[in-house]
Every structure is written in C-alpha cells, then in structure tokens.
Amino acid sequence: MTSEPVIPDFGQGSDCVREDRFFCWDWTQQHWDDTFQPALVEHIELTLIAVSIGFVISFALALLAYRVRRFDAPIGALSGFLYTIPSLALFQLLVPVTGLTVTTVEVALVSYTMLVLFRNILEGLRAAPPDVREAARAMGLSPRQSFLRVELPLALPAILAGLRIATVMTISLATVGAFVVPEGLGAPIFSGLREFFQTKFVVAGALAVALALVADALLVLVGRALTPWAHARRPA
C-alpha cells in the first residue's frame, strides 16, 4: 500500500485543508497532476480494457447462442450467475488465483459486463423481423451476406444500448477495484476515506460520475452516427 501521510500537509495547508472542509479547490489544483489526473487516466484504461474484452467474449458467445440455440440457456445462466456475486466478494475470491494485480480487477469487471452485453447482443441479433429475413433470403443474399448486411446492422441499437449500460456500470464498479490494487479513481477515494480527508474522495467520486456521463454521451453520439435509421423522423 502507498505510504501517504495520514492527514496531508497539516502544517502548511490552507484553512480549508486543515479544517477538512467538504471540498478544497486549492488542494484539488495542487494535486491534480500527481493524484487526480493519473487516477482518471488509469480509470479510463481499466474501463476500456474491461469493456473491450467483455464485448469480444460476449459477442463470440452471443454468436454461438444465436447459431446454436441450445447454448443460449447455459451461457445466459452463467453470465447471470457471475453478475450476482457481490463485487467485493468476487475481487476477494480472485485474489488467490490472480494475486493483488490489475488482472484480478479486469477479470471481475469483464465478468460483470458479460451479462448485459451477451443478452443485448443476442436479443439484437434476433431483432430482425421474419419478413425482413425472408426478403433477404428471397433476394439471393447468402446466410453470411444476410448476417453482415441485415441482421448485424439491425442488432446495432440493442448492442449500443448494452454497451452504454456496461460502460457506465464498469466505470462505477472499477472504483471498487482499488480494494485490490490502488489503480484508477478508486485509489484516491479509498485513501481519502482512510485519511478522513474529504476533498480527496469527493473530487475522485465526482470525476467518476463525470467520466460515466461523458462516456455515456459519447456512446449516444456514436449510436446516432451508426444507426441513422433509428432516429429518422418522418418529414412533415
């Protein structure tokens, strides 16, 4: 664990810091570069890696369940089960296997994304209406062409909805990962709590919320760009 002072800069801090007010702008500014910014970058990395890996695995599993229906229930049950394990318990369970490492955090985060992503991707792929599938077949699209040009594009709205939920959830959950390794915005939140220094965890917490909002908004924009038909308005 890090060897930070229990209460930072008692002697030389401002009144705000000495009195441990809810939020101290000067301390935030002074420690942006050495505390918040690196934590924010780490947090983005944690999230991106978890959601990307979770997406790839979920996509492969959803594809399998889409093609072979009998895999649907077992995969759904497994990802549903993973989702029910309390995050702290899951981190703890993984520590003996993968140690106090980022891997432990990522494995847990990936597991949590899977329920949402698997379900949404699968439902999305199944969303193409029967008449549309039949039309594709009747026009001489091969199963592969039908998948790539019809079923997959039509699955995009559901997939993007899943990605939004998974991303926001991962950003929030990743803070708990600091319980295992002091990475991401969870680190200043934990140390702030331990040191009874409010500014630290208030700012880190606010950054996590802001990051979630920004990520969600970005995904909405990506969704608009990728699925223009879903937002098309009827001309008056």
Partner 1 sequence: MKMVNRLVELDEGDVLLDDRSVRTLDETQLRRSVGYVIQQVGLFPHMTVGDNVAVVPRLLQWPKARIAGRVDELLQLMGLEPAEFRDRYPSQLSGGQRQRVGIARALAGDPGVLLMDEPFGALDPITRTRLQGEFLRLQDAVRKTVLFVTHDIDEAVRVGDRIAILREGGELVQYDTPNAILSHPADDFVAQLVGADRGLKLLALHRVDEVELEPVSLAGEDDPRVDASATLRDALSLMLTEAATHCVVTNGTRPLGTLSLDRIAELLAPR
Cβ proximity to partner 1, 26 vs 134, nearer residue: 134
Kindly tell me the burial class for residue 22, based on how many C-beta atoms sit within 10 Å of its own C-beta (0-12, 13-18, 19 or more): exposed
Q: Closest approach of Cβ 149 to partner 1, in Å?
A: 8
| CB 200 within 8 Å of CB 6 | no
Other CB atoms within 10 Å distance of the CB of residue 29: 10
Cβ proximity to partner 1, 53 vs 226, nearer residue: 226
Closest by CA position to 180, among listed 38, 45, 46: 46
C-alpha dihedral, 92 to 94 to 97 to 98, nearest 10°: -100
Cβ proximity to partner 1, 70 vs 144, nearer residue: 144
Q: Which amino acid is at 36?
A: F
Cβ proximity to partner 1, 37 vs 145, nearer residue: 145
Q: Closest approach of Cβ 75 to partner 1, in Å?
A: 27
| CB 209 within 8 Å of CB 43 | no
Q: What are the residues binding partner 1 (CB under 8 A)?
A: 129, 131-132, 134-142, 145, 150, 153-154, 156, 227-230, 232-235
Q: Closest approach of Cβ 141 to partner 1, in Å?
A: 7
Q: Closest approach of Cβ 135 to partner 1, in Å?
A: 3
